[in-house]
Chains A and B, each alone.
Chain A
Amino acid sequence: MLDDFFVRAMLAGLGVAAVAGPLGSFVVWRRMAYFGDATAHAAILGVAISLAFHISIYAGTTLVAAAMAAAISALVSRGQTVDTMLGVLSHSALAIGLVAISFVPQARSDLSAYLFGDILAVGPGDLALIWAGAAGVLGLLAWRWQRLLTASLNEELAMAAGIDPRTERLVLSLALAIVVALSIRVVGSLLISAMLIVPAAAARGLSRSPERMVGNATLIAAVAVMAGLWASLYLDTPAGPSIITAAAAIFMFSQAFRRA
């Protein structure tokens, strides 16, 4: 069954959807959309470094994305204006990544695969890594669920309960870096943050509790993956952008059914 490229693509997409629901909800709750964008854009630099030094793309992008997340946190705590600074870092990271990747001959030809994903080319090895990483991130989020939720709702209330909000922020940054790396073959660097935000935003209006929102976001992400893959197979559209287009369509549709 795994010999079929389409089955592999489906499983890879569903693996990403499984983490995009929960993590994307946190990105929406904590207003980290731009933070996610900057971290995801740094992944291109990660790809360039991985190819130049012949290390795994997954390891390289995780490291660079984590470094980016750490850099953002450090600059924010120094009192820089968050909005401007994220704008600077996000687009600089993308530009530097594109320049760096131009020095790597084997990457120049399939640059768009890293920018927009190449889910139909996912191999069994990628699939194993995607699911292992997804399981790790889900385990991390489940383990710290109550603490993460309290810290996201209100940091003072969290501190009063003995929770250090900085630790929880670090946990989410780490989870984000891993998910960026997992998603780069599926939707690509430019659309990773969309994969996180769009399903969660669509789920927001349909959900009355954080757990429901996570469930709905995961479901919406999974439906978007299937619809996008179907479109790419039968309409011959690019898979990554098709997945996000499907998620966006669900978002528009969900606005008609907002409950709270």
Chain B
Amino acid sequence: MTALIQASGLTILRPGGSETVLQGVDFQIRPGEIVTVVGPNGSGKSSLVRALLGHMPLAAGRVERRAGLRIGYVPQRVQVDTTIPMTVRRFLSLPRRVGDRDAARALARTGVEGVEARQLTQLSGGQFQRVLLARALLHDPQLLVLDEPTQGLDQPGIVAFYKLIEEVRRQTGAAVLMVSHDLLVVMRASDRVICLNGHVCCEGTPQHVSSAPEYRALFGAESEGTLALYRHHHDHDHSHDHHHHAGAH
């Protein structure tokens, strides 16, 4: 098995109900690949991620994770309660303790060096997402799983975050599985896009997906913008893009 995670025929039921959230989904992610799952609200994106991680019971199908696969995970909408006093440094040591040097290195890698002594609740939204990413990077993951990592960030923050993801992939060689709402930006950062709506509507390169009728039916007007932006980006950044990909594989 060359894939890090390989799933076939995944069917998931709504908790406590009999309606299906996902039906017959096949999925795989290979080393070093950036795969993005897009889809409307309630399309089963987070359920897919949880099923792949083994946090969700399957009604049918199977998930195979490579033996000993190290996953760094940033869940959706991580909220840290103000009732728990928690410094960034202490947070990085949960649940596995890490040394000061490893902690500092991970924070530097995600662009938030020196915030160790700050309380989690004192960080801005963007800083907090970077700390979460740093924590996910601590134990040398082969796969990063990020569920809507840019929620609550403004547009420049979103662009900067995806740049950071590409940077991390280039430095560490980790594969990245992302769930996202940010159609416009996310497309550029991905090698492969999966468009989900209870089942896989369409799948392929960002360019392929953004011009697919299924995708356009699902996202309507917003997809026009994606396509325009994608082409724009593609025209101007083509050589850079290829260079980048060559470096990653």
Which chain A residues have a beta carbon within 8 Å of chain B's beta carbons? 28-29, 31, 146-147, 149-150, 152-154, 156-161, 163, 204, 207-210, 212-213, 260
Known: A154-B75, A160-B71. A209 touches B90 (CB 8 A): yes
Instruction: Please give me the 3 A-B residue pairs with the lowest Cβ-Cβ distance, nearest first.
Output: A156-B75, A160-B73, A150-B95
CB nearest neighbor in A for B145: A160
A213 CA / B76 CA spacing, docked (Å)? 28
List 7 A–B pairs whose Cβ atoms lie within 8 Å, in order of A's numbering: A31-B81, A146-B95, A149-B94, A153-B86, A159-B53, A161-B96, A210-B84
Which chain B residues have a beta carbon within 8 Å of chain A's beta carbons? 53, 55, 71, 73, 75-76, 78-81, 83-87, 90-91, 94-97, 119, 121-122
- A153:B119 contact, CB within 8 angstroms: no
- A207:B83 contact, CB within 8 angstroms: no
Known: A147-B95, A161-B96. A210 touches B75 (CB 8 A): no
CB nearest neighbor in B for A145: B95
A253 CA / B177 CA spacing, docked (Å)? 49
- A150:B83 contact, CB within 8 angstroms: no
- B95:A161 contact, CB within 8 angstroms: yes
A147 CA / B55 CA spacing, docked (Å)? 17
* CB neighbours of A161 from chain B (8 A): 95-96
A2 CA / B79 CA spacing, docked (Å)? 49
CB nearest neighbor in A for B136: A160
* CB neighbours of B86 from chain A (8 A): 153, 209-210
* CB neighbours of A207 from chain B (8 A): 85
- B78:A154 contact, CB within 8 angstroms: yes
* CB neighbours of A260 from chain B (8 A): 85, 119, 121-122
CB nearest neighbor in A for B121: A260
- B95:A31 contact, CB within 8 angstroms: no
- A153:B80 contact, CB within 8 angstroms: yes
Known: A149-B94, A157-B78. A212 touches B85 (CB 8 A): yes
- A29:B90 contact, CB within 8 angstroms: no
- B95:A158 contact, CB within 8 angstroms: yes
- A150:B85 contact, CB within 8 angstroms: no
* CB neighbours of A152 from chain B (8 A): 84
Residue in B73, B83, B119, B122 whose CB lies within 8 Å of A157: B73
Residue in A29, A149, A156 whose CB lies within 8 Å of B81: A29
A141 CA / B97 CA spacing, docked (Å)? 17
CB nearest neighbor in B for A212: B85
Residue in A31, A147, A156, A204 whose CB lies within 8 Å of B85: A204
CB nearest neighbor in A for B139: A161
Least distance between B142 CB and chain A CB atoms (Å): 14
* CB neighbours of B75 from chain A (8 A): 154, 156-157, 160
- A163:B95 contact, CB within 8 angstroms: yes
User: Which has the most chain A C-beta neighbours within 10 Å: B76, B87, B97, B122?
Assistant: B87
A156 CA / B79 CA spacing, docked (Å)? 10
* CB neighbours of A29 from chain B (8 A): 81, 83-84
A161 CA / B55 CA spacing, docked (Å)? 11
* CB neighbours of B91 from chain A (8 A): 153
CB nearest neighbor in B for A146: B95
* CB neighbours of B76 from chain A (8 A): 156
A208 CA / B91 CA spacing, docked (Å)? 12
Least distance between B123 CB and chain A CB atoms (Å): 12
Least distance between A197 CB and chain B CB atoms (Å): 11
CB nearest neighbor in A for B72: A160
CB nearest neighbor in B for A151: B95
User: Which has the most chain B C-beta neighbours within 10 Å: A29, A156, A158?
Assistant: A156
* CB neighbours of B94 from chain A (8 A): 146, 149-150, 153, 157
Least distance between B70 CB and chain A CB atoms (Å): 11
Least distance between B118 CB and chain A CB atoms (Å): 10
* CB neighbours of A212 from chain B (8 A): 85
* CB neighbours of A208 from chain B (8 A): 85, 87, 119
* CB neighbours of B87 from chain A (8 A): 208-209
* CB neighbours of A150 from chain B (8 A): 94-95
A163 CA / B86 CA spacing, docked (Å)? 20
A146 CA / B81 CA spacing, docked (Å)? 17
Residue in B71, B90, B95, B122 whose CB lies within 8 Å of A210: B90
CB nearest neighbor in B for A147: B95
- B90:A31 contact, CB within 8 angstroms: no
Known: A146-B94, A149-B94, A209-B90. A159 touches B55 (CB 8 A): yes
Least distance between B105 CB and chain A CB atoms (Å): 20
A29 CA / B120 CA spacing, docked (Å)? 14
* CB neighbours of B78 from chain A (8 A): 154, 156-157
User: Which has the most chain B C-beta neighbours within 10 Å: A29, A152, A260?
Assistant: A260
Least distance between A29 CB and chain B CB atoms (Å): 5
Least distance between A207 CB and chain B CB atoms (Å): 5
